[in-house]
Structure 1
Amino acid sequence: MMMHKRKYPVLLGAAGLTLLTGCTAPHSAPAAVPTVMQVVGTCHTFRTQQEMVQPSDIAPPVPCGRPHRTETYRVLSFEGAIAAHGKRPDPEQMAAYAQERCDDAKVIKQYLGAGPRDTVAFTVWPRVPTRAEWAMGVRTLRCDLVPPVREAKNGPLVSFPARDVMKKPQSSAVRQCERGSTVVTCDHPHDREEVAVWLNLDGALRFEEAETTATKQCGPFVEEFLRTKLSRVPTLTVKARTPSSDEWAKGVRTVKCGVGPANPAATIVGTLSGSAKGRV
């Protein structure tokens, strides 16, 4: 599975740069929750974009049933040479180490309750100890997930827990769909939902055969996603993204599988995932 990183070019791109500054947002001491005391399953919100993009966060968590912007899915420790630094290491080192440790696709999918054909579009967002905490020996690394909610003024905002969300209908708010060429979350009208599989067509295949072949090859994976046979849902069809003629001429043979309404003029709202509908 390929995780989507930095999906918010204004917000998260700024975050990547701000992580390199090493500043920490001010919080009153009584309300602070030290990094070492933070736990999996807690949710977090931020009053401003500036607060969200800080590398450290010791503000108290909020209930996951209330509006929030990130959720902690894993708590680790800095290890090895980087942990031996008495002073918090250079921002570039911290960012690279934290991102690599936190971005574990298998663990993320397990936490979200995602099935093998569920596309996961959450962004990984590490939180590191403050400079003062690091100097006192704290080496806790908090790994947060940022939902793929779009057009949020100060960052993504949801009002439900991320844990096992992919097993529920409300996951449509964090699943990736398309309306035409525009990527949307599946709680908006769309005509195609992503299925987590990429295929490579036979290099000897003719371009005119690509769409038919791709549709046939994507079929079993789409049925695995739906957890039912396509013959039982005639209103749905495989929607494979095949290379353009120019791409084909350059040797591209990659196919991206998807599913959507058989009626090309139709749109739907909500996910088609079988696991989200309780099918086993």
Structure 2
Amino acid sequence: MRRAGVLTVFVVSGALLAGCQQEKDPAPAASASPSASVAPSTAAGDAAKPVVGNCWTSYTATFTGDKINELTVDELHPVADCAARHLTETFHVGTFPGDTPPADPEVQRVYAECEAKAAEFLSADWHDGRLALLLLPPTEARWDAGVRAFRCDLVERRGISDASSFRTGSLKDSLRGARPIGLGCGTVVYNTDPKRTPLWMQPAACDQPHNGEYIGTVRAPAGAATAPGTGDHLRQECAQLVDRYTGRSFANLATQLGQQIGLLWWRVSDHNWDAGERSARCVLVVEQPIAKSLKA
């Protein structure tokens, strides 16, 4: 599993604390059955093309150093009906053009296609839910066999940057109406290191004690995740969301609450960042738990 790394931890001024943490790739979760590698397909074309509406019980990530270089789903344990217990759901299938393995620009175009289709499927931006988005291209063996289809899958999480979660039922329209998997208030869990590194946020009802609230998602310009200014850009964009979400400035909000407040932002994994997804989820945090939403 990848490590969650801290980009910056700093004090803004007075009663304002701020920090930033990188989001983990969805952790391969334990399957109900022993996990197995994907069986290479010897069929070409549509014979091995994935199908929209399929659900799966496990997926695996292959790493090079600290970066994912391949995501695959354990196709030896498919779930025929998404009403049964499963881990991932295929909501879109597309095709890479030509016979040359896709380079970065094409991967980025395809990832953007997955994001757009996810918004249609969920009825809202997938970042607003306890979700991870997976782009699954054909394995090398399948590409060599002529398969050009890629899959877009969604995985439910227990909270922001938390582990993947098994579920029953399709995610279709799950960010519409009551938004059963929508992000809102939650409890930010910190590491025990001296810097109190934020690890993840577990969901909680806004009328129950909590110390964090999701206020929206921001995006950074193109470039490397470690490029100078990326962290500052995400911090500034998240700070602008505070005014729009709460109707109050940082300083006024801290004064009204009578305690320290701050911002956390979890940027996407290196895998998704390299695919062209430059987003970060922003969370407003308080030093002492409260039992209300801060939304205006």
TM-score normalised over the length of structure 2: 0.47
The structure with higher relative contact order (CA 8 Å, sep 6+) is: 2
Task: Give the number of the structure whose alpha-carbon radius of gyration is greater.
Answer: 1
Structure having the larger proportion of residues in strand? 2
TM-score normalised over the length of structure 1: 0.49
Structure having the larger proportion of residues in helix? 1
